[in-house]
Amino acid sequence: MASTVTFRLAKPRATAPADAADLEPAWIRRVLVSVTLGFLVLFLFLPLAAVFVEALRKGVSVYLATFLQSDTLAAIRLTLLTAAIAVPLNVVFGVAAAWAIAKFEFPGKSVLTTLIDLPFAVSPVVSGLIYVLLFGAQGWFGPWLSEHHVKIIFAVPGIVLATIFVTFPFVARELIPLMQAQGSDEEQAAIMLGASGWQTFRRVTLPNVKWGLLYGVILCNARAMGEFGAVSVVSGHVRGMTNTVPLQVEILYNEYNFVGAFATASLLALLALATLGIKSFIEWRTQRDTAAA
Amino acid sequence: MAIDSIIPPAVPGAASAPRRVLPGFGLSLGYTVFYLVLIVLVPLSATLAKTATLSWPRFWSAVTSARVLASYRLSFGASLCGALINAVFGLVVAWTLVRCRFPGRRLVDSLVDLPFALPTAVAGIALTSLYASNGWIGQWLEPLGIRAAYTPLGVTIALTFIGLPFVVRTVQPILEDLDTQFEQAARSLGASRWQTFRRVVFPEIWPALLTGFALAFARGLGEYGSVVFISGNMPMRTEITPLLIITKLEQYDYAGATAIAVVMLAASFSLLLLINLLQRWTSSRHVLV
Amino acid sequence: MKTSLRFCLLAALVAVSTWTAHAAPQPVTLLNVSYDPTRELYQDYNAAFAKHWKATQGQDVTFNQSHGGSGKQARAVIDGLEADVVTLGLAYDIDALAEHGGLVPKDWQKRLPDNSTPYTSTIVFLVRKGNPKKIKDWPDVVRPGVQVIVPNPKTSGGARWAYLAAWGYALQANGNDAGKAQAFVTAMYKNVPVLDSGARGSTTTFAQRNIGDVLLAWENEAHLAQKEFGADKFEIVTPPVSVLAEPPVSVVDKVADKHGTRAVAQAYLEYLYSPEGQDIAGRNFYRPRNPKAAEKYAAQFPALKLFTVDELFGGWAKCQKTHFDDGGVFDQIYKP
């Protein structure tokens, strides 16, 4: 039944697959490990290292000074604000969508699932463009908005909207397969024992999916803070006002302030690493919970 | 788990009957559809409406001019290459992570998600500084006559980076579910390791592999941030389709830009449908086994 | 009865208006949407103007700046970025504001002196120290084996000026033969290994990545690159002939009227022509219009023959259509 596996957590596995060890000759395993490590070093580790090496090129004090600039601080504030709005909205949506799709049968379910996935495959450039077409001065609602002095594009609401769009599927995609795999027997039992719908959700469903939910939230958050293409189209690039952290990276880079650009970028890389750290922790907890049960 | 043991599977046929015992169907589905329409469908329909302002011949010439065709070739070609590289190496990575023990395995496992989390512009700048002819990797490629940055190869590298987690993360769970008994049985029946892989393991994982491949491909098609830095943007040679959309926008050709966007949308939507069909197939096969 | 009421109203009105005129005016904020290379210029100029405005009008004025590719910035303003003034890379981009959405009147360029361009610039060559490839003049950039770095004219205003500089040189050198000019420009772009999307991207490619033998750059960008990356690394070569690049400025009428900032926006642009404004332009490597300021900075601006877009290309609208629109000459250069 699991309709998607993209962001599935590593399966709970209490023991290492010791029985698999003797299937491969040792030399094959060594080749596999070295190919894996070589490939990942080339494609993952080196780009990450490059960011930090460039950021620290002129020493720690120059590195830290970047974060004291008012424009950089404003960008950090805007990014935090954007994520603080976009992520909870998508969490509520993700939970509702997962509840509807995983616990019930209804016609058109697979179309709905495909539509939920759609923002994921839409080019970020297009994601920004659609909001310009809607709310831009030449767009559908532009004249009305301008008459009523409501600013959406080139202001915070536009940035938030574009961010919501690109991070739209993350939580739902994480929760749907998880809730499908768990079935609804426990919830049905709770209802029959007289629990209200809300109680059932809070006491039965939520504890079962909490780690999956958290994983969805942190991936959603990482993407929300790191989105570049879509936000770039709707931001207007006003210094200190509508620049998010990724846009600030581009601006600093264009000002030949390479250390500043990479230092700001390293902030986002650190966020990525923290995300991965939390993810590992979640996996570890899930496995422990499963082992305990 | 506890409730399970108290209540035996009491309701006969509960699994197959419409599960309307649970509350909240109307609310959750209603909200889902409302939010979906508001955030995704209405904005996306704006592209269709804008494109409809073009006459059919103008639409056709906008999406099939030589330069646009060249950009499709690059975007589709490089995404395809990137997705193929990821299919091969992603499988190796997933296999290694599941089947081999080595120091640092957990760290490597979590690093795989980095391209999801690292902002694309940062990835683009970092990759360019690595693969430019004076970069850490580029300086070793230069004497071999290989130019990576500012060539289609550079675009492929960026798209490989972007697509890497998709294949690994789709194949990994299937491999973990795979019982090694079958492989051991095959071996005891005298099959070579390669035969076992081809006949026993591969049929199990290839739908997932295909799904991961298609996801990486779809993501690569639309990717902008990480590619513009490393591609060099030469018309007809290293210009990707999303860049052309931007270029058209900057010439105030909104209809032309959205026309190309609609073509990209159609491509990604068909890919997604394909993925969902594949996944159904995967899971139905899985139930059979 | 009626008259006295009217009188009372009038009196009240006069009282109110005189009262507002004497109270300290509300602080005002202007958004200047500009193109990429002007960051340093407007940083200096905004501070100077704020001081001048406070001294003469007693009003506090603060500035917001947005920088990016000229075309991208114009598009943002058309789509609703509420710029009080625009200071862009070429007149065509402000024409677009008139055409799409009527943000400025069609004759915007007549409203300020010198075609509304308070400072000018040109396209020069930035080469590596010692000029190892001996690049002195335009014919050198089409020599086989010379790598030329220039941004994409479709997305960069500066790149359009560079393209026109090369075209104009070739046109004049070949007795106005457009075919030969196209051959020359085609040969030049054959030598281009990377087309970045903006002028700053090209400078980074040339200076940071060490790609190419010559960068076709805005004169002020070339000076800035020397300052940022070290004067010991690059040399500026001024060709004998180039284009007179005129980056224009304009109040965005529709926005300024909505914000009630027209007076200060107007004064902001006019002050660019004042001795102080001209001096700041010169200091930031833009060629001042004012002869006195030009004289002061003569040392950093070698004399050369400059042609204008109007002279050789019949104005921006025509030029854009022939050369840079879809299917125009630039696209033909890359026809396989």
pLDDT tens digits, one per residue of B51-67? 888 889 989 988 998 88
Contact (CB<8Å) A238/C64: yes
pLDDT at residue A272 greater than cutoff 70: yes
Q: Do B86 and B160 contact (CB within 8 A), yes or no? A: yes
Provide mean pLDDT across the span A127-146.
Answer: 88
Residue A69, min C-alpha distance to chain B (Å) = 20
ipTM of the complex: 0.81
| Token code pair at residue C327 | 């299917």
H or E stretch including C29?
strand C28-35
Dihedral sign of CA atoms B207, B209, B212, B216 in order: negative
Which amino acid makes up residue B87?
A
**Does B172 lie at the interface with A, CB-CB under 8 angstroms?**
yes
Residues of C in contact with A154 (CB under 8 A): 76, 79-82
Query: Which sequence spans correspond to the domains of chain B?
Result: 65-288
Which is more confident, C266 or A119? C266
User: Which of A23, A92, A129 shows the shortest C-beta gap to B257?
Assistant: A129
Q: Is A15's pLDDT higher than 50? A: no
Please tell me which residue of chain A has the smallest CA distance to C31. Answer: A238
Exposed/middle/buried for residue C111 (C-beta within 10 Å: 0-12, 13-18, 19+): middle
Give pLDDT, residue C8: 53
The rounded mean pLDDT for chain B is 82
Distance (Å, rounded) from C-alpha C87 to C-alpha C252? 10
Q: What is the pLDDT of residue B289?
A: 42
Contact C192 B228 (CB under 8 A): no
Residue C65 in 3-state DSSP? strand
C336 closest CB neighbour out of B236, B249, B251: B236
Low-confidence stretches of chain C (pLDDT < 50) are 1-2, 15-21
Tokens of B122: 């940062």
Nearest CA in chain B to A43: B161
Q: Any CB–CB contact under 8 A between C198 and chain B?
A: no
| pLDDT on residue C5 | 53
Strands C148-149 and C119-120: unpaired
Does the pLDDT value for residue A7 go beyond 60?
no
pTM: 0.84
Q: Angle between the C178-190 and C157-173 helix axes, to the nearest 10 degrees?
A: 130
Which of B64, B98, B77 lies closest to B208, judged by CA? B98
Chain-chain contact of A251 with C78 (C-beta, under 8 angstroms): no
How far apart are the C-alpha atoms of C323 and A187, rounded to whole Å? 68
Among candidates B66, B228, B247 on the partner chain, residue whose Cβ is nearest the Cβ of C335: B66
Three-state SS for C147-191 is: CEECCCCCCCHHHHHHHHHHHHHHHHHCCCCHHHHHHHHHHHHHC
pLDDT at A22: 61
Rounded to an integer, the average pLDDT of A139-156 is 87
> A251 is written with which tokens?
């601006």
A132 CA: distance to closest CA in chain B (Å):
9
Tell me which CATH code domain B65-288 carries: 1.10.3720.10
Distances in Å between the Cα of C63 and the Cα atoms of A240, B105, C28, C79, C231 are 11, 53, 9, 21, 32
Residue in A46, A223, A246 nearest the CB of B137: A46
Residue C105: φ, ψ to 5°? -70, 160
Closest by Cβ to B100, choosing from A32, A103, A184: A32
Place of tokens 């790191």: A226
- Phi, psi for residue C32 in degrees, rounded to 5: -105, 110
pLDDT at B5 over 70: no
pLDDT in tens, C60-94: 999 999 998 888 899 999 998 999 999 999 999 99
Task: Determine the pLDDT at residue B132.
Answer: 85
Backbone phi, psi, residue C214, to 5° = -145, 135
Query: In the complex, which subunits touch C with 3 or more CB pairs below 8 angstroms?
Result: A, B
Distance CA C59, CA B157 (A): 55
CB contact under 8 Å between B111 and A275, yes or no, is no
pLDDT tens figures, A24-77:
778 888 888 999 999 888 888 898 898 899 899 888 999 998 888 888 999 999
- Give the whole-angstrom CA distance, residue B26 versus residue C247: 59
Residue B241 clears pLDDT 50, i.e. is over it: yes
**Whether the predicted pLDDT of B191 surpasses 60:** yes
pLDDT digits (tens, 9 = 90+) for C251-286: 999 999 999 999 999 999 999 999 999 999 999 999
Q: Residue A194 above 70 pLDDT? A: yes
Distance CA C332, CA C105 (A): 34
For residue A138, the chain C residues in CB contact (below 8 A) are: 78-80, 100-101
Q: What is the pLDDT of residue A95?
A: 93
Highest mean pLDDT among B82-96, B190-204, B247-261: B82-96
Q: Tell me if C101 and A137 make a contact (CB, 8 A cut-off).
A: yes
